[in-house]
Amino acid sequence: MKWLLPALLLAGSFHALPAQDKAQLAEEARVPGNSESGMLGWKWANFAVLVAGIGYLAVKIGGPYFEARTASIRKGLDEADKARQEAGARVAEVNAKLANLGSEIEQLKAMLHAEQERHADRLRREAAEEIARIRTQGEQQIDALAKASRQALKIYSADLAIDLAEQKIRAQLTPDAEERFSHAFLEKLKA
């Protein structure tokens, strides 16, 4: 197998000669005493050595190079196939997500609506509780103010009654009345 390439090169180079050169080479090989015919043998020998050397180098250097190149291409093809499969899997995943996107959006809308309802209900409850607390606090403050006002009114009424009584007593207490009270008091003391 390794010698196939040099043999093909040699056969190809012989067939590549024009028909006229082939005939001339054959004729020169038949003519005895032709000095060029002896040289022709050496030329062919030289050509054969050259082809063998090139073939050897082609097999020695070209074989590993082409094997490495083939392995590199095969590796590249395997990687490309793997990348294509991964890309196909990603495309299928994206397509599945896109197919479910509408239902996911609907689910998100429903969740958002439910969350808004819960939030609105919580705000209504908190507002009702706050109103009730403010109402209770207001009633307590009104009751406290009413009680304080009644107390202040009682005190004021008592002060007015005392002042009125004092004014009446002073109006009724004339110097004659004072003297009568004083005599009556002294009489009680004596007795």
Residue 49 lies in a domain: yes
Task: Examine the domain organization and report whether 117 and 161 are in the same domain.
Answer: no
pLDDT at residue 123 tops 90: yes
- Specify whether the CB–CB gap between 6 and 49 falls below 8 A: no
Predicted pLDDT at 11 = 53
**75 and 156 part of one domain:** no
DSSP secondary-structure letter at 33?
Answer: T
Angstrom distance (rounded) from CA 167 to CA 154: 19
Q: Which of 37-51, 53-67, 68-82 has the highest mean pLDDT?
A: 68-82
- As a dihedral over the C-alpha atoms of residue 107, residue 112, residue 114, residue 117, rounded to 10 degrees, the angle is -160
**Residue 181 and residue 98 share a domain:** no
Question: Which range is least confidently modeled, 40-49, 116-125, 170-179, 182-191?
Answer: 170-179
156 shares its domain with 103: no
Domain around 64: 4-121
Note whether residue 126 is domain-resident: no
Exposure of 55 by Cβ count < 10 A (0-12 exposed, 13-18 middle, 19+ buried)? Answer: buried
In this structure, are 186 and 112 located in the same domain? Answer: no
Q: Are residues 42 and 93 in the same domain?
A: yes
Percent of the chain predicted with pLDDT > 70? 80
Together in a domain, 106 and 24 = yes
105 and 33 both lie in a single domain:
yes
pLDDT at 82 over 80: yes
Task: Tell me whether residue 135 is in a domain.
Answer: no
Portion of the chain with pLDDT greater than 90, in percent: 37
Residue 15 has pLDDT above 60, yes or no: no
Instruction: Among 121, 138, 163, give the residue marking a domain's end.
Output: 121
Per the prediction, the chain carries an average pLDDT of 81
- Please count the structural domains in the chain: 2
Residue range 166-181: average pLDDT? 79
Tell which of 103, 121, 139 closes a domain.
121
Q: How far apart are CA 32 and CA 38, in angstroms?
A: 9
pLDDT at 81 over 60: yes
In-domain check, residue 130: no
Whether residue 158 lies inside any domain: the answer is: yes
At residue 30, does pLDDT exceed 60? no
Q: Is residue 104 part of a domain?
A: yes
92 in a structural domain: yes
pLDDT at 172: 77
Give yes or no for residue 23 having a pLDDT over 70. Answer: no
Q: What is the pLDDT of residue 96?
A: 84
Number of Cβ atoms within 10 Å of the Cβ of 105: 10
Instruction: Report the distance separating Cα 53 and Cα 59, nearest Å.
Output: 10
Does 68 share its domain with 154? no
- Domain assignment present for 108: yes
Q: Are residues 32 and 112 in the same domain?
A: yes
Res 28: pLDDT: 55
Tokens of 114: 């439910």
